[in-house]
Structure 1
Amino acid sequence: MEQQEQIFHLYMQHLAGMLSAEETAYVTEQLAHNPSFKAAWQELAARGEAMGVQQFADRVSAPAALQSVKQQITPARKVFPIWRVAAAAALLLLAGSAVWLLWLRPQATQPSGLAHIRADKQPVRLQLANGETLTLNDSSQRTITLGNVTLNTQQGALAYSSEDTTTNTLLVPAGENYKLVLSDGTEVRLNAATKLTFPFHFGIGARKVYVEGEAYFKVAKNAAQPFLVSTPLTEVQVLGTSFNINTYHPGTVSTSLVEGSVITRRGQQQVQLQPGQAANFSTAKGFSTGSFDEEEVLAWLNGIYYYHQCPLADLATVASRFYGITIHLDRTKYAGVAVTGLMERDKLAEFLSDLKTTARVNYRLESKELWLQ
Structure 2
Amino acid sequence: MDYEKIRELTFDELLGTISDEEKALLYNAIEADSQARSIWESIHGDRSRLLADASESFAQHPVEEVLTNLHQRSRLRYIRKACSIAAACLLAITGSWYLLRHNTTNEHQPVAALGNNMDSTIRLVTADGKTIDLSADSSGIQIGHTVLNNTHQTLSFDARHQTGSGMNTLTVPRGKDYNLLLADGTQVQLNAGTTISFPFSFNGSKREVTVNGEAYFQIAAKADQPFIVHLPGNTISVLGTAFNINTYDSGSIKVALVEGAVKVASSRQNEILKPGFEITSSHTGMTTAAFDPDKVLSWRTGVYTFENASLQELAPVILRWYGITVMMDNQRVSSRRFFGIIDRNQPLQAFLHNLEAADGVKSHYDQNGILHFE
Same fold (TM > 0.5) = yes
Aligned partner (choices 22, 46, 64) of residue 16 of structure 1: 46
Q: Is the 8 A contact 1:303 1:345 kept in 2?
A: yes
Q: Is the 8 A contact 1:70 1:295 kept in 2?
A: no
Aligned to 1:148: 145
Aligned to 2:273: 273
Q: Residues 14, 353 of structure 1: CA spacing in aligned structure 2 closer, same or farther, 3 A cutoff?
A: farther
Structure 2: distance between partners of 1:17 and 1:260: 42
SS at match of 1:183: coil
Aligned to 2:194: 194
Aligned to 1:354: 354
Aligned partner (choices 92, 95, 100) of residue 93 of structure 2: 95
Structure 2: distance between partners of 1:360 and 1:89: 17
- Sequence identity percentage: 34
Aligned AA (1:304): V
Q: Residues 177, 239 of structure 1: CA spacing in aligned structure 2 closer, same or farther, 3 A cutoff?
A: same
Aligned to 1:161: 158
How far 1:76 moved relative to its partner? Answer: 6.6
Structure 1: distance between partners of 2:236 and 2:203: 19
Aligned to 2:316: 317
Q: Is the 8 A contact 2:116 2:325 kept in 1?
A: no
Q: Residues 204, 121 of structure 1: CA spacing in aligned structure 2 closer, same or farther, 3 A cutoff?
A: closer
Q: Is the 8 A contact 1:254 1:280 kept in 2?
A: yes
How far 1:326 moved relative to its partner? Answer: 2.5
Stretch of structure 1 that moved more, 181-190 or 316-325: 316-325
SS at match of 2:333: coil
Aligned to 2:108: none
Q: Residues 86, 340 of structure 1: CA spacing in aligned structure 2 closer, same or farther, 3 A cutoff?
A: closer
Q: Is the 8 A contact 1:95 1:339 kept in 2?
A: yes
TM-score between both structures, scaled by the size of structure 1: 0.70
Q: How many residue pairs are counted as aligned between the two chains?
A: 298
How far 1:88 moved relative to its partner? Answer: 12
Aligned to 1:102: none
Structure 2: distance between partners of 1:229 and 1:70: 36
Q: Is the 8 A contact 1:144 1:152 kept in 2?
A: yes
Aligned to 1:257: 257
Aligned pairs (5 A) from 1:100-115: none
Aligned to 1:181: 181
Aligned partner (choices 124, 127, 130) of residue 125 of structure 2: 127
Stretch of structure 1 that moved more, 356-365 or 171-180: 356-365
Q: Residues 51, 127 of structure 1: CA spacing in aligned structure 2 closer, same or farther, 3 A cutoff?
A: closer
Q: Residues 119, 204 of structure 1: CA spacing in aligned structure 2 closer, same or farther, 3 A cutoff?
A: same
Q: Residues 331, 245 of structure 1: CA spacing in aligned structure 2 closer, same or farther, 3 A cutoff?
A: farther
Aligned AA (1:150): V
Q: Residues 365, 204 of structure 1: CA spacing in aligned structure 2 closer, same or farther, 3 A cutoff?
A: same
Q: Is the 8 A contact 1:13 1:98 kept in 2?
A: no
SS at match of 2:265: strand
Structure 1: distance between partners of 2:245 and 2:172: 15
How far 1:362 moved relative to its partner? Answer: 1.8
Aligned AA (2:313): D
Q: Is the 8 A contact 2:241 2:259 kept in 1?
A: yes
Please list every run of 5 or more consecutive structure 2 residues that lacks an aligned counterpart in the other structure.
1-41, 78-82, 98-114
Question: In the TM superposition, what whole-angstrom CA distance separates every residue of 1:297-333 from its partner, at most 9, and x where no partner exists?
Answer: 1101100001111121121122111223333332645
Aligned to 2:29: none
Question: In the TM superposition, what whole-angstrom CA distance separates every residue of 1:39-70 from its partner, at most 9, and x where no partner exists?
Answer: x99x77xx9xx989xxxxxxxxxxxxxxx999
Question: In the TM superposition, what whole-angstrom CA distance separates every residue of 1:243-270 from its partner, at most 9, and x where no partner exists?
Answer: 0000111210010000111111112411
Structure 2: distance between partners of 1:155 and 1:195: 19
SS at match of 1:228: strand
Question: In the TM superposition, what whole-angstrom CA distance separates every residue of 1:152-195 from its partner, at most 9, and x where no partner exists?
Answer: 00011100122131101000011111000000010000001001
Q: Residues 364, 88 of structure 1: CA spacing in aligned structure 2 closer, same or farther, 3 A cutoff?
A: closer
Structure 1: distance between partners of 2:256 and 2:330: 32
Q: Residues 278, 120 of structure 1: CA spacing in aligned structure 2 closer, same or farther, 3 A cutoff?
A: closer
Aligned pairs (5 A) from 1:199-348: 199-283=199-283, 285-330=284-329, 332=331, 334-347=333-346, 348=348
How far 1:143 moved relative to its partner? Answer: 2.1
Root-mean-square deviation (CA), in Å? 3.7
Aligned AA (1:326): T
Aligned AA (2:258): V
Q: Is the 8 A contact 1:234 1:265 kept in 2?
A: yes
Structure 2: distance between partners of 1:75 and 1:14: 26
Q: Residues 75, 300 of structure 1: CA spacing in aligned structure 2 closer, same or farther, 3 A cutoff?
A: closer
SS at match of 1:341: strand
Structure 1: distance between partners of 2:118 and 2:288: 40
Aligned to 1:4: none
Structure 1: distance between partners of 2:253 and 2:69: 25
Aligned to 2:9: none
